[in-house]
Amino acid sequence: MDLFGSFALVLAFVYAVYAFVGGIAAILARHPLLVKSTRQAGIASCCLIFLATFSLEYLFFSDNFSIAYVVSHSNRDLSTFYKIAALWSGQEGSLLFWSFLLAIYVFSVLTYRNKNGELMPYVGVVMAGVQIFFLTLNNFVASPFKALATPAANGALEYVARADGNGLTPLLQYPEMVIHPPNLYSGYTGFTIPFAFALGALLARYPGEKWIHLTRKWTMIAWMFQSCGIMLGAHWAYAVLGWGGYWGWDPVENASLLPWLTGTAFLHSVMMQEKRGMMKVWNVWLVFCTFLLCILGTFLTRSGVVSSVHAFAQSSIGSWFVGFIAIILLVCFGAYFWNRDYLKSENQLDAIVSRESSFLFNNLLLLVSCIAVLSGTLFPVFSEWITGDRISVGAPFFNKVNIPTGLLLLFLTGVGPLLAWRKTSTESLKRNFGWPLGTGLFAGVVAFALGFRELFSLICLILRIFVASTIGLEFYRGAKVIRARSGASFVASTVDLTMRNTRRYGGYIVHVGMVFVFIGLSGAAFNRDTQKEMQLGQTMQIGPYTLQLQGFDTKPEKNYTAERMIVEVLRDNKSLMMLYPEKRKFATTDQNGTMVAIYSTLKEDLYVVFAGYATSGDARLSEPTRKMDLVWRRIRVLAGAQQPAAASPLAQALTPHRHASGRPSLRPPLSRKHRASDENLRT
């Protein structure tokens, strides 16, 4: 099976090279048959990558411990889910997984009903180029199909098989391991497609704005996965000790945020191009940068350039990525330079209080934030080059820049969508913002009177209520109009309203999701921490909760042994529940894993950690209560919100244009997929 897998990869590489070279030839020669054959080569290459990936999975499931990668990342007793996840738990496999996800995207683009005949060959060439890079890594640099062998007396190599594998690293044995990397990687790889469309359109000087719709659609899909991936990662880091909390400004976490920021900027500024034909150069470069940042993120995770708790082991693979980034930059600059007249703006900014300017400032803030995060992440590298001292910056740097930026962005989230294009009159400002602003400020005053004194949290509270009310008001007004006409119930009217203009109202729902994220983040100001050594029967107090240590036990499981603390949680002398923070001892790796016990309420979290035994022999318990749990609970909101927003343009694309103004009669198959992924989140 390993032979099968590596042959499939080699063949996939050959096909991808053909799709690339043949594609260029087809564009130059304008030969329809050649165009067709390169497209089919692209499809074949994708299918071969699927086969290679499945064969690696097969090796995991058949416990084939003659393969180095299987030995390092699996063992017999590993549960089924983690055997699936073992595929992306190491360098080689996760690179294959990159190719796999990219192949899914490329496959769907190539087999999608072909309406952009002139553009598609260019897009195909760009996609094939990216695939060649990753297939090179899969085949020649980090092959996941290496077999274990040992030199025999006569110098020939003999295969050896081991009885059992080394097992999966305990830190990775957590349910999120099964869904977080696929989501995040789908985000990273997904940004390849908008890149291919943007670069393709620029190279082809493709007339019209059709390509910008396509780019936006694919960006939306990648963006959704990226958002879910980041959120799931934050939850994982929160619930399992050792990752440094839900967000620690770790280089690898930052790397995932960077393309998200530029992607978000693009999703907003693209509307300027669609509606007013402005910011074309800017948009193209946003797409280019987003893709570059994806590759940079992958590079940071794998090269060991910056130290991170999440990074893979150091390897020499970094130079390949540096080379690839250099090539992309060259191609992008070249394509832009030769075709820059194609991107002439059709309009100019009219007034400072307008939709355009709100987008402009939104982009500015997202970009500033992105640059700050990027420079902070790479600071050690650059400072070493320039001064010789390796200097790193920590959380205070990132927080100082990003908290005000975030609050300004939250403000724009409320204001932007309600401003008119070109210029907004004072009356409409009053009408749209009078009530929400009043409500927000009122809530701020009430909170201040109640003893709420954290400056940023207070500003955040006012802004959140302001944004939520502007959105609420929008839904209310729209639904009222529909109800007056149809007589349906208010809820039904709201649903109807959303389905009629999924783009607009879907966008609002995403904004609501962001409001919830801000609620969670600002809760960090209220964290409280206590640590105490505890003996049997002793209690400790934190906030309104009393914790009593009721006992210890040991729970042998298939793959590990768990030592648990049995802690009773009391509030007002009433028993609420039992919590079982545990320490897991993994037999195969002789490593520990600490499982945090979390008691979540809508208002706050009780976060109990079994920190270990003090040298004197007592168990030590520490439990910060953390309000930030709200962050992860809102994952669902954000994911759910994406659904209508992402479904809408696809619905338009899948159904003929006669439906353009009305609601799509056909539910696009993709929206069902979104729902499925949403369902996965719930389980």
Partner 1 sequence: MQKQAKFAIGIVVIVVSLACLAWMGYGESKTYYHTIVELQTLDSAARSHRIRVGGTVEPGSIRRYSDRVDFVLEGEGKKLPVSYIGGDPLPDTFADKAQALVEGRSTSEGRFVAEHVQAKCASKYEAAPGGTGGPAAKSSQPSTM
Q: CB of 609: closest distance to partner 1 in angstroms?
A: 5
Nearest to 260 by CA among 214, 233, 291: 291
CB of 86 to partner 1, least distance (A): 11
Q: Which is nearer to partner 1, 126 or 611 (CB)?
A: 611
Chain residues 261-320 in contact with partner 1, contact rule CB under 8 A: 307, 309, 312-313, 315
**CA–CA distance, 683 with 671 (Å, rounded to integer):** 19
Q: How far is the CB of 263 from partner 1 (least distance, A)?
A: 21
Identify the residue among 146, 275, 340, 555 touching partner 1 (CB under 8 A).
146
Q: List all residues 6 or more positions away from 54 whose beta carbon is below 8 Å from its beta carbon.
A: none
The three-class DSSP label of residue 612 is strand
- Please say which residue, 134 or 145, places its beta carbon nearer to partner 1: 145
Stretch that binds partner 1, among 167-175, 189-197, 436-444, 494-502 (CB under 8 A): 167-175
β-partners of residue 240 are 595
- Choose which of 339, 347, 357, 546 interacts with partner 1 (CB under 8 A): 357
Q: Which of 531, 575, 601, 665 binds partner 1 (CB under 8 A)?
A: 531
Max distance between CA atoms of the chain, in angstroms, equals 91
Token readout for 106 is 């490329």
Q: Rounded to the nearest whole angstrom, what is the least distance from the CB of residue 140 to partner 1 in the complex?
A: 9
Among 175, 277, 404, 472, binds partner 1 (CB under 8 A): 404
Report the DSSP pairing between strands 625-626 and 605-613.
antiparallel
CA distance 116 to 206: 10
Using alpha carbons, list the distances in angstroms from residue 234 to 113, 238, 245, 246, 460.
37, 6, 8, 4, 21
User: Which one among 2, 474, 582, 604 touches partner 1, defined by CB under 8 A?
Assistant: 2
Q: Indicate the burial class of 107 (C-beta count within 10 angstroms; 0-12, 13-18, 19 or more).
A: middle
Nearer to partner 1, 582 or 604 (CB): 582
CB 417 within 8 A of CB 433: no
Q: Are 490 and 483 in contact (CB under 8 A)?
A: yes
- CA distance linking residue 80 with residue 4, whole number of Å: 23
By CB under 8 A, is residue 241 in contact with partner 1?
yes
Q: Residue 631 CB, nearest distance to partner 1 (Å)?
A: 18
CB of 592 to partner 1, least distance (A): 4
Query: Using CB under 8 A, which of 29, 330, 364, 660 touches partner 1?
Result: 364
Rounded CA separation 487/642 (Å)? 28
Cβ of residue 125: shortest distance to partner 1, in angstroms?
27
Residue from 261, 229, 253 nearest 306 by CA: 253
Residue span binding partner 1 (CB under 8 A) among the ranges 220-228, 279-287, 403-411, 632-640: 403-411
Region near partner 1 per CB under 8 A, out of 2-10, 111-119, 320-328, 635-643: 2-10
Residue type at 11 in one-letter notation: L
Q: Which of 57, 533, 568, 678 binds partner 1 (CB under 8 A)?
A: 533
- The residues, ordered by sequence, that sit 6+ positions from 536 with a Cβ below 8 Å of its Cβ are 549, 550, 551, 552
Least distance between partner 1 and beta carbon 634 (Å): 24
Query: Can you tell me which of 620, 636, 673, 675 binds partner 1, judged by CB under 8 A?
Result: 620
- Cα separation, 629 vs 626, in Å, equals 7
By CB under 8 A, which span of 230-238, 274-282, 505-513, 612-620 interacts with partner 1? 612-620
Q: Is 530 helix (H, G, I), strand (E, B) or coil?
A: coil
C-alpha–C-alpha distance, residues 402 and 215, integer Å: 28
Rank residues 37 and 591 by Cβ distance to partner 1 and give the closer one.
591
> Is 570 in a helix, a strand, or coil?
strand
Out of 64, 362, 405, 648, the only residue in the binding site for partner 1 (CB under 8 A) is 405
Give yes or no for residue 162 binding partner 1 (CB under 8 A): yes
CA dist 246 and 596 (Å) reads 13
Task: Tell me if residue 451 falls in helix, strand or coil.
Answer: coil
- CA–CA distance from 343 to each of 93, 358, 443, 652 (Å)? 40, 22, 46, 26
Q: Find the angle CA(90)-CA(94)-CA(98) to the nearest 5 degrees.
A: 170
Q: Which of 29, 330, 395, 577 binds partner 1 (CB under 8 A)?
A: 395
Contact 294, 416 (CB under 8 A): no
6 near partner 1, judged by CB under 8 A: yes
Q: Which two tokens stand for residue 130?
A: 């990216």
* Smallest gap from residue 526 Cβ to partner 1 (A): 15
Binding residues for partner 1 restricted to 12-71, rule: CB under 8 A: 68, 71
Distance between CA 609 and CA 622 in Å, rounded? 5
Q: Shortest gap between Cβ of 8 and partner 1 (angstroms)?
A: 11
Q: Is residue 538 at the binding interface for partner 1, with CB under 8 A as the rule?
A: no
Exposure string over 580-593, b if 16+ CB within 10 A, otherwise e: ebbbbbbebbeebb
* Minimum separation from the CB atom of position 113 to partner 1 (A): 38
* H, E, C per residue of 559-598: CEEEEEEEEEEEECCEEEEEECCEEEEECCCCEEEEECEE
420 is a site residue for partner 1 (CB under 8 A)? no
Residue 31's alpha-carbon distances to 15, 23, 123, in angstroms, are 19, 10, 16
CB of 392 to partner 1, least distance (A): 5
Taking CB under 8 A as the rule, which mask of x and - marks residues 577-596 in contact with partner 1? ------------x-xxxx--
Torsion of CA 31, 34, 35, 37, to 10 degrees: 160
Q: Which residue, 171 or 292, is less far from partner 1 as judged by CB? A: 171
Alpha carbon distance 237, 228 (integer Å): 14
Tokens of 177: 């391991």
Give the residue with the Cβ less far from partner 1, 83 or 216: 83
What backbone torsions phi and psi does residue 454 show, to the nearest 5 degrees? Answer: -70, 120
Instruction: Choose, by CB under 8 A, the member of 393, 420, 447, 566 that binds partner 1.
Output: 393
Measured CA to CA in angstroms, residue 102 lies from 362, 453, 647 at distances of: 30, 48, 21
Confirm or reject binding of residue 400 to partner 1 (CB under 8 A). Answer: yes
157 binds partner 1 (CB under 8 A): yes
Binding mask 476-515 vs partner 1 (x if CB under 8 A, - otherwise)? ----------------------------------------
Nearer to partner 1, 237 or 510 (CB): 237
Q: Which stretch binds partner 1 (CB under 8 A): 36-44, 240-248, 503-511, 626-634?
A: 240-248
Under the criterion CB under 8 A, does residue 528 sit at the interface with partner 1? no
Residue span binding partner 1 (CB under 8 A) among the ranges 163-171, 439-447, 465-473, 500-508: 163-171
Minimum CB distance to partner 1, residue 529 (Å): 5
Q: Which residues from 337-356 bind partner 1, rule CB under 8 A?
A: 349-352
Nearest to 433 by CA among 455, 417, 421: 417
Which of 55, 622, 642, 652 binds partner 1 (CB under 8 A)? It is: 622
What residues contact residue 234 under an 8 Å CB cut-off, 6+ apart? Answer: 246, 247, 631, 632
Contact between 107 and partner 1 by CB under 8 A: the answer reads: no
Count of positions on this chain that bind partner 1 (CB under 8 A): 82
Cβ proximity to partner 1, 219 vs 354, nearer residue: 354
CB of 134 vs partner 1, minimal distance in Å: 17
Q: Could you tell me where the beta strands, DSSP code E, fall in 244-342?
A: none
The reply to whether 562 sits near partner 1 by the rule CB under 8 A is no
Cβ 402 to partner 1, closest distance in Å? 9
